[in-house]
Structure 1
Amino acid sequence: MANVTESRVHEARFTSFGTTFMGPLLSFFSQSLTNNVPDKAPLYFLAREGYWLEQAFQHHLSGANIQRESHYLLVSRAFLFKIMCNDSRSYAYSLKSSFSGAFYDLIRTRFLLSDAQIKHIFDEELTQELVYLPEDKKKIVAILEEHATRIEDIISPSKQAYISYLKSIGVTEQDKLHLVDLGYSGTIQSLLGILLDKDTHGHYLISSNPGEHVIENHNATMQGYLKENVKIGDGYLPLDRSMFLESLLTAPFGQFRGIRFNTFDSSHFDFYYGRKVASQRYFHELEQVMNGALSFCQHAAKHDISFTTDELETMLASYLGKANMVPHAVRHIFDIDDDVTGNGTVNALQFFGLA
């Protein structure tokens, strides 16, 4: 009986934390989407954050007695870098972040190519060369273009399967894609627009690059609902410490890394993911946190409860700027992986000195 009681206490702490911290944020974002996206336009929620953002949106709609179409869309920057590895239009994004090390490590970590794939495409001597970004960008582009045919042979199966997957959830039939993510610069939005040759409208909690853009002859609108025109390092706490939010807003699986047609049924797909971090290994506890947040979204919509940007920023400042605001029982789930930038796994609370 003592163990049962202790378990219920822990569950209550998780749920309560989700209600008070994530609930207002998800309610604000969901209400903003409802008020700003055309009624008949399906919303596609991106990457790992989209797993919970989409559920929060549907809970908000349920509370408000509204029906709208939405989908969770599997995607990651690194996966798009991979299937567009021979598309020069993508290099402005895939070769943007700094890097120093062997060419082999750049291709393996930035483009998710396996050891066998790298050896099939590139000579061993080339893979051991040291490269630096941004200094060697032109050199790296030249190498990729020189090996474009071999790269195409490697990435084609994944690319074909992914396009079919997007078609299966209605993405390819849209004239304009309405995409939702936590933020911030719109890299995935830009790459999807290039890949599919479509206009896009990105809806973000925070947008560092808002407004109308023309990307490879297509219009890309980026809109932030909490804040716009801020970049990491500007002093805006919800963005500077966005890792804190991302560690909770995560799907139950690791980074999306690959897709194939199912061997026995080509109308189905097999998905492949990277390693799990703490919030995914203890996903049953994260679910308790998010259940509190989702219930709050539904309750707030049903009773017409809303938050201003000032109110939400004040609440976020407390959790993101003060130590010991997070219950001890929840702290172990604040890990996040940042492989694209080479930082590995990082604990958000420890990183910002909040533990």
Structure 2
Amino acid sequence: MGPLLSYFAQNLVNHVPRDKPLYFLAREGYWLEKAYQSYLNGADIQRESHYLLVSRAFLFKILASDKRSYAYSLKSSFSGAFYDLIRTRFLLSDSQIKQIFDEETAQELVYLPDDKKKIIEVLNQHSTRIEEVITPSKQAYLSYLETLGVLHQDSLHLVDVGYSGTIQSLLGILLDKDTHGHYLIASKPGKHIIENQQAEMHGYLKENVKLGDGYLPLDRSMFLESLLTAPYGQFRGIRLNTFDPTKFDFYYGRKVASQRYFHELEQVMKGALQYCEHAAKYGIHFDVEELEMLFTSYLSKANMVPRSVRHIFDIDDDVTGNGTVNALQFFGLA
């Protein structure tokens, strides 16, 4: 983790304009931002950065009435009742779904990708009611982004592990801003026009690889994601605080093992952050081949990870319907 995070931080320092704040996304961004600041400390550099709470599912929710988002929210396969699609994919509660859709519509069986057009028609027909339901969350989230200075940027520099830039694309749609995505691995690098906004994506470890192409750090990215996690579950909602409207109440999904035993994960990451600072201070650099060799040894050889910490490699994969998965067990490394 130390070499990988210091390499990423070094590239961010080298490739992002000094006057542009960096916004670190989702649960992975929690440790990526801390690693970046540790590297800056070691190099005696000052740059602005923020950890930004966001998730695909939450953006699907607050963009549920925006047809520009359907290319992303309806991309993954699904089979089941329309009610379950709206509840799991768009994070709407039971009462919210009943406010918007009648019982017959809610219970109709749908399949993705086959029924994509039909689902879009239903969403479009109910867009006014959807908008009414999601507006409080959407307005609260925009107020939260305002506190981080996001709304004042002419273009956003976003950081995540990777890979296809879905959150970057959705934020560009939500805010009508050009975005620059900085990733370890970028499946779709380069400049793209997404709903009249430019989205530029750059991968510092690898570009132009997709899941299943045989590039181990991507094919087994669950391993990395299980360690790079914030202390709480998936970001699911936000409201203005009832007693103090200048503050926010945040809502999260269930915790997986690495979050329940976060004190153990913190000990692992403490060493990684110290390494980032050390690498910056003494000018220690890694090239891509060295990192791939180090990383691949953990991703392809059984029993490299001590038995006492194997339980922290659980991640949740609720968006795709897979529940909780242990990365080590999944790939036969435990």
Shorter-chain-normalised TM-score: which range?
Answer: over 0.9
1:122 corresponding residue in structure 2: 101
Q: Distance in 1 between matches of 2:95 and 2:291?
A: 49
**Superposition pairs of residues 1-355 of structure 1, within 5 angstroms:** 22-355=1-334
| Residue identity opposite 1:291 in structure 2 | K
For 1:85-142, what per-residue CA distance to the aligned partner results, in whole angstroms no more than 9, with x for missing partners? 0000000000000111110110000000011111111111111111001110000000
- Partner Cα separation in structure 2 for residue 124 and residue 285 of structure 1: 46
Partners of 2:255 and 2:103 in 1: CA distance:
31
Distance 1:195 1:173 in 2: 14
What do the CA deviations read for 1:223-269 (whole angstroms, capped 9, x no partner)?
00000000000000000000000000000000000000000111110
Structure-2 separation of matches of 1:246 and 1:329? 19
- Give the deviation of 1:330 after TM superposition: 1.1
Paired residue type of 1:30: A
The equivalent of 1:3 in structure 2 is none
- Give 1:153 shift: 1.1
1:61 partner SS: helix
**Rounded Cα–Cα distance in structure 2 between residues aligned with 1:198 and 1:171:** 10
Give the match's secondary structure for 1:30. Answer: helix
Paired letter, 1:136: D
Cα distance, 1:329 vs structure 2? 1.3
* d(CA) in 2 for partners of 1:91, 1:327: 43
RMSD, aligned CA: 0.4
TM-score w.r.t. length of structure 2: 1.00
Q: Deviations over 1:43-99 (max 9, x none)?
A: 000000000000000000000000000000000000000000000000000000011
Q: Secondary structure at the match of 2:299?
A: helix
Percent identity of equivalent pairs = 79
Matched position secondary structure for 2:51: strand
- Shift of residue 298, structure 1, vs aligned partner: 0.3
Equivalent-residue separation in structure 2 for 1:160 and 1:254 (angstroms): 22
Render the CA deviation track for 1:129-187: whole Å, top value 9, x for unaligned: 11001110000000001011111111000000000000100000001100000000000
Structure 1 counterpart of 2:160, one-letter code? D
TM-score (norm 1): 0.94
Rounded Cα–Cα distance in structure 2 between residues aligned with 1:169 and 1:133: 36
Question: Residue by residue, what CA displacement relative to the aligned partner does 1:302-332 show, whole Å, maximum 9, x if unpaired?
Answer: 0000100000000011001110000111101
- Structure 1: 5+ residue stretches without partners: 1-21
